[in-house]
Amino acid sequence: MKQRLKQIYRPLEVPECIPSPLPVVGAALVIYSLFQYAYIIYPIQPGNSDWEFLVIGALVDNAFTPILGIALFLFGGAIEMPLWRIVGSRILTWLSLAFGVIYLLLVPLALNDGMRIGRYMNAQMATAENISQSQQQKVRKALDSATTMQELEVLTTVLNLTPSMEQRNKQMPDDSFVARREWLWETIRSNQKRMLEEAKALYTANRTTLRKDMIKAAFGSTFMAAVYLYFFFAFKMVRKKYRLVEDEDL
């Protein structure tokens, strides 16, 4: 039984050639990738930096599917090919040129969108700092104008401070009005400082991610453009004229 499993078999009728599944698989991958690209791009939002940047990243991430499809379709291309492969090869080489040009154009677009997003993030961080300073000035002014413990209690409730005035009363029941007011001010400053530090940490992380995404988008687009342009120039033979092979040529 083991010997029979190891023996080599061949069909009784050997065909002149065995059809390769690679061109069919390659064409299927290319067609699938076109639908995939349409899904990524739609709905179109030109002028939206966030949308453009996300689309460029998605196009780079999904570029290997059509590249693999084109490579499989063109793989094993011989001098003699059926008409459907000649037509398909010509279409795919011109499609490679189109994709190559598109990915080259995506490089400056990705860098420009990344810088626009970076400027917007800088403006947001500056706005957050200004709002924090403005809020502290307003609270300081309100505290300076307060004259009773009840007014301090109202400020504590409005600002939703932690620890609350009630907790402070339990901890320090003999606080003077001035001591209570200064404690309230320090609590507010501490909370504002903590929130601002959290915002700065998030800003720093987002800036780092943005830089990495910009490098990935620019380098990835350049690399993909080079691969597509290679297909166009390396397989220029398929765009030349062919003649029908007659029986006497076989």
Mapping DSSP onto H, E and C, the string for the chain reads: CHHHHHCCCCCCCCCCCCCCCHHHHHHHHHHHHHHHHHHHHCCCCCCCHHHHHHHHHHHHHCCHHHHHHHHHHHCCCCCCCCHHHHHHHHHHHHHHHHHHHHHHHHHHHHHHHHHHHHHHHHHHHHHHHHHHHHHHHHHHHHHHHCCCHHHHHHHHHHHCCCCCHHHHHHHCCCCCHHHHHHHHHHHHHHHHHHHHHHHHHHHHHHHHHHHHHHHHHHHHHHHHHHHHHHHHHHCHHHHCCCCCCCHHHC
**pLDDT of 217-249, one tens digit each?**
999 999 999 999 999 998 888 877 766 655 544
CA–CA gap between residue 214 and residue 208 (Å, rounded) = 10
CA–CA gap between residue 41 and residue 11 (Å, rounded) = 49
Q: Examine residue 226 and state whether it is found in any structural domain, yes or no.
A: yes
Report the pLDDT value the prediction gives residue 22, as an integer from 0 to 100. 84
Q: Examine residue 230 and state whether it is found in any structural domain, yes or no.
A: yes
In this model, does residue 132 exceed pLDDT 90?
Answer: no
Which of 189, 204, 216 is closest to 106 using CA atoms?
216
How many structural domains does the chain have? 1
**pLDDT of 116-131, one tens digit each?**
999 999 999 999 889 8
Q: Examine residue 15 and state whether it is found in any structural domain, yes or no.
A: no
Owning domain of residue 87: 22-239
**pLDDT of 9-19, one tens digit each?**
555 554 555 56
Report the pLDDT value the prediction gives residue 137, as an integer from 0 to 100. 86
Residue 95: pLDDT band with limits 50, 70, 90: very high
Neighbours of 64 (CB within 10 A): 14
Residue 250: pLDDT band with limits 50, 70, 90: very low
Q: Examine residue 1 and state whether it is found in any structural domain, yes or no.
A: no
In this model, does residue 107 exceed pLDDT 90?
Answer: yes
Q: Examine residue 102 and state whether it is found in any structural domain, yes or no.
A: yes
In this model, does residue 103 exceed pLDDT 90?
Answer: yes
**pLDDT of 160-213, one tens digit each?**
665 555 666 656 556 677 887 888 788 888 888 888 899 999 999 999 999 999
Q: Examine residue 175 and state whether it is found in any structural domain, yes or no.
A: yes
Mean pLDDT of 88-109: 92
**pLDDT of 23-66, one tens digit each?**
889 999 999 999 999 999 988 888 888 899 999 999 999 999 99
Q: Examine residue 10 and state whether it is found in any structural domain, yes or no.
A: no
Q: What's at 131, amino acid-wise?
A: I
Q: Examine residue 170 and state whether it is found in any structural domain, yes or no.
A: yes
Report yes or no: 146 and 155 within 8 Å, Cβ to Cβ. yes
Which of 92-96, 110-114, 148-152 bottoms out in mean pLDDT, i.e. has the lowest? 148-152
